[in-house]
Amino acid sequence: MKLKLLHAADIHLDSPFSGLDSRSAEARRGELRSAFTAMMTYAAKADTDLVLLSGDLFDGDLVTRETVALLARECENYGRPVFIAPGNHDPASPNSVWRRVTFPDNVHIFTSASLDAVDLCDADGQDTGVTVYGWAFTGPDLDEVPLDGTAVDDPARINLLVCHADMTDPHSSDCPLTAAHLDAFGADYAALGHIHNPPAPGPACRYAYPGCLEPRGFDERGPKGAILAEIEKMDGPSTVSLRRIRFSKRRYERADCDVTGSETSADVRESIRQTILSFARESGWGADTCAALRLTGSISPGLVLDTETLAANPPCVGSLRLEDRTVPDADPAALAADPGIRGAVYRELKPALESADPREREVAIRALRYALRAITGERV
Ligand SMILES: [Mn+2]
């Protein structure tokens, strides 16, 4: 018996993308919807037997009619079984779309916070030997794991589990599932959702998080997508093979860029360019990449960086954001001992330069730079 499935989670359709202006946010919501469409098209083309969607399909209660229609249409076009296990962002509460909307017949939505099971039949109504287990969040929290102690009914079948659960924290209020629960349950594959930046699953892992489908900011880094799982079961234990497939239109990446020794803005710009080019070579950064670089190191004391100008028209990447964490390359002991105006300025700023508050330190560093630059006669 062989089974091929596509597993996705944490799609968060209709996310507000609150960090963006309203036009860019609308554009990103469109990209998110089209990543979902691309995934469902792939699922059909790759000739999968079913699709498992492990929660947080929607970002929250505010769901547009168009997006619900899109979900229903994509599932209907796919035509094979689709299982949905609502998560903490889109719980199957009484007023949720999961209970109010009628989805196509091939869509099964788990709506109970206790374990349910569905035996899969083919188009002729014949049993396929596959059982899909699952549960739903019915509110924002799920303190109990609906699996506690249970095992699959018939280990000879291919048993799948689809659910939203948090395996990272045994005290989580988002269904604190553990590896021990899963071992005791004995599913051939558990399709999990909740963790947006999971480590890559081992190729033969029996449970996995796919991560989100499309990143929404710098806390969701790297290419994103879904998991293609192939399960084979003859007599005895099954074999599982997993592969991650990218569907995200964008990727967000963050890195440090050491600009130590820079004398001019042009030097800094060159360091930024080299850093981006090396990530493009080694990690595939490109036009799809929203990059954020943190500038570090010590630079010429009078050099004040205009991060906005430096970030404009970056090489390779789609967009660039810069954060200035550089420090002026001045010898503090020499400055403190300087009898002239440089020393006076330094001594005045010293408490703030050594402040425990990073914001205050940042302002003081900037003030010192402007002062040193003004003293040397440069225009500020
Ligand atoms: Mn989520």
pLDDT confidence tier of residue 220, bands split at 50, 70 and 90: very high
Handedness of CA 132, 169, 142, 95 (dihedral sign): negative
Contact criterion met (CB below 8 Å) for 326 and 307: no
Return the H-helix or E-strand segment holding 128: strand 127-134
Contact criterion met (CB below 8 Å) for 66 and 45: no
Of the spans 229-243, 317-331, 355-369, which averages the highest pLDDT?
Answer: 229-243
What does pLDDT average to over the chain? 93
Contact criterion met (CB below 8 Å) for 151 and 182: no
Least confident span in 18-27, 91-100, 247-256, 371-380: 371-380
The closest alpha carbon to 167, from 201, 140, 133, belongs to 201
Distance 131 CA to ligand 1 centre (A): 25
Strands (E), 153-246: 158-164, 189-193, 207-208, 225-232, 239-246
Domains, the chain: 2-246 (3.60.21.10), 251-375 (no CATH)
Distance 228 CA to ligand 1 centre (A): 19
CA-based max dimension of the chain: 93
Instruction: Give the pLDDT confidence score for residue 336 in this predicted structure.
Output: 86
Distance 237 CA to ligand 1 centre (A): 32
Instruction: Give the pLDDT confidence score for residue 295 in this predicted structure.
Output: 96
Contact criterion met (CB below 8 Å) for 50 and 82: yes
Q: What percent of the chain has pLDDT over 70?
A: 99
Return the H-helix or E-strand segment holding 130: strand 127-134
Distance 300 CA to ligand 1 centre (A): 44
What 8-state DSSP symbol labels residue 194? S
| List of residues 6+ apart from 101 with CB closer than 8 A | 68, 72
Distance 303 CA to ligand 1 centre (A): 43
Q: Please tell me which residue, 343 or 87, carries the higher pLDDT value.
A: 87
- Give me the mean pLDDT over the 189-207 stretch: 93
Distance 56 CA to ligand 1 centre (A): 5
Helix then strand then coil, in percent of the chain rounded to 5, is 30, 25, 45
Q: What does the pLDDT look like over 52-63, one tens digit per residue?
A: 999 999 999 889
C-alpha dihedral (45, 51, 54, 58), degrees to nearest 10 = 60
Type of residue at 42: Y
Distance 196 CA to ligand 1 centre (A): 6
pLDDT confidence tier of residue 376, bands split at 50, 70 and 90: low
Report residue 184 as tokens: 């005791």
- Give me the mean pLDDT over the 313-331 stretch: 90
Q: What does the pLDDT look like over 259-284, one tens digit per residue?
A: 998 989 999 999 999 999 999 999 99
DSSP track, 248-293: -S-EEEEEEEE-TT--SHHHHHHHHHHHHHHHHHHH---TTEEEEE
Contact criterion met (CB below 8 Å) for 329 and 321: no
CA distance 108 to 11: 18
Q: Where are the alpha helices (DSSP H) in 79-126?
A: 97-100
Instruction: Give the pLDDT confidence score for residue 62 in this predicted structure.
Output: 85
Distance 148 CA to ligand 1 centre (A): 23
What are the distances in angstroms from CA 227 to CA 67, 97, 109?
23, 26, 20
Q: What percent of the chain has pLDDT over 90?
A: 81
Distance 314 CA to ligand 1 centre (A): 31
Instruction: Check pLDDT > 70 for residue 356.
Output: yes
Type of residue at 71: L
- Give me the mean pLDDT over the 171-188 stretch: 96
CA distance 375 to 77: 70
Instruction: Give the pLDDT confidence score for residue 50 in this predicted structure.
Output: 98
Place of tokens 């449970």: 207
Distance 231 CA to ligand 1 centre (A): 26
Instruction: Give the pLDDT confidence score for residue 379 in this predicted structure.
Output: 59
Distance 208 CA to ligand 1 centre (A): 14
- Give me the mean pLDDT over the 194-207 stretch: 92
Distance 187 CA to ligand 1 centre (A): 23
Burial class (CB in 10 A: 0-12, 13-18, 19+), 254: middle
Report residue 14 as tokens: 């209709």
DSSP 3-state assignment of 127?
A: strand
Distance 313 CA to ligand 1 centre (A): 33
Instruction: Check pLDDT > 60 for residue 380.
Output: no
Distance 345 CA to ligand 1 centre (A): 50
pLDDT confidence tier of residue 377, bands split at 50, 70 and 90: low
